[in-house]
Amino acid sequence: MKYMDPFNSKFNAADLRLKPEGDLITRHLSDMDDMYHDREAADELLEENPLIYRYYNVEVPEERGHLAHCVSMVFPGDVGGEYFMTKGHFHEIEDTAEIYYTIQGRGKMLMQTPAPESRVETVDMLPGNISYVPPLWAHRTINTGVQPLVFLAVYPGEAGHEYGIIEEKGFKKILVEEDGEPVLKDNPEYPD
Ligand code: M6P
Ligand code: ZN
């Protein structure tokens, strides 16, 4: 392994930007509209095509020994009652974990083990919470509040992202707003 020089990144809470910016990824509704269960509501909102989330990947080599890290923000909003959320993923290298540190906002992390168990858990994402995603669990972050949900994520450099399973099947549960409260419900489209 080669030496790499130490460095800082600085997150500015006032404008929600990271410096240096690194690799900035933005996801609009059109990047994930078929992940929401209410097709009609998604189609309606597509005209506006809101920004759902963005994340700043600090540039470190994607290899074993390094710790990939990024600052993400999921914006507030919903599609037919289903809160704005990340696409969600498993790690390509399945036995790699991840830590999320919530900086501001309010939300939940939805996690699920691989089929056939497909066990679902959620943890609260509130300022100061350190959320642990153990190896093997798929994970998606969901903004249940009215401010951007902002968090730092750290994971092994080699972990990689596996989106295919979630794109195809979704999560077993969805998080929807009912009477102003987040309620976890069965995903009606989840295959048996
Ligand atoms: C977090 C980390 C990243 C991830 C990002 C967006 O910051 O887990 O690795 O890429 O959220 O989530 P997704 O990749 O599921 O769209
Ligand atoms: Zn991850």
Residue 9 domain-assigned? Answer: no
Residue 24 domain-assigned? Answer: yes
Q: How far apart are CA 84 and CA 17, in angstroms?
A: 20
pTM: 0.97
Per the structure block, which two tokens stand in for 74? 């999921």
Residue 2's pLDDT is what?
A: 87
pLDDT band (50, 70, 90) for residue 192 = confident
CB contact at 8 A, 79 and 29? yes
Residue 83's pLDDT is what?
A: 98
CB contact at 8 A, 139 and 72? no
Q: How far apart are CA 190 and CA 192, in angstroms?
A: 7
Distance from the CA of 144 to the center of ligand 2, in angstroms?
20
Residue 11 domain-assigned? Answer: no
Residue 85 domain-assigned? Answer: yes
Helix extents (H) in 11-86? 39-46
Residue 13 domain-assigned? Answer: no
Place of tokens 């599609």: 79
Structural domains in the chain (count): 1
Cβ contacts of residue 2 below 8 Å, gap of 6+? none
Q: What is the pLDDT of residues 122-150, one digit of tens each?
A: 999 999 999 999 999 999 999 999 999 99
pLDDT exceeds cutoff 90 at 191: no
Q: How far apart are CA 180 and CA 146, in angstroms?
A: 11
Q: Which residues line ligand 1 (CB under 6 A)?
A: 55, 70, 72, 86-89, 98, 153, 161
Q: What is the pLDDT of residues 65-106, one digit of tens each?
A: 999 999 999 999 999 999 999 999 999 999 999 999 999 999
Ligand 1 pocket test, pick from 27, 70, 75, 110 with the greatest ligand atom count within 8 Å of Cβ, gives 70
* Structural domain for 104, as ranges: 18-186
The whole-chain average pLDDT of the chain stands at: 97
For 39, other C-beta atoms within 10 Å of its C-beta total: 13
CATH of the domain at 41: 2.60.120.10
Q: How far apart are CA 67 and CA 31, in angstroms?
A: 27
**Helix, strand and coil percent figures for the chain, each rounded to 5:** 10, 45, 45
Residue 1 domain-assigned? Answer: no
Q: Considering the chain, what percentage of its residues have pLDDT values greater than 90?
A: 98
Q: How far apart are CA 136 and CA 113, in angstroms?
A: 6
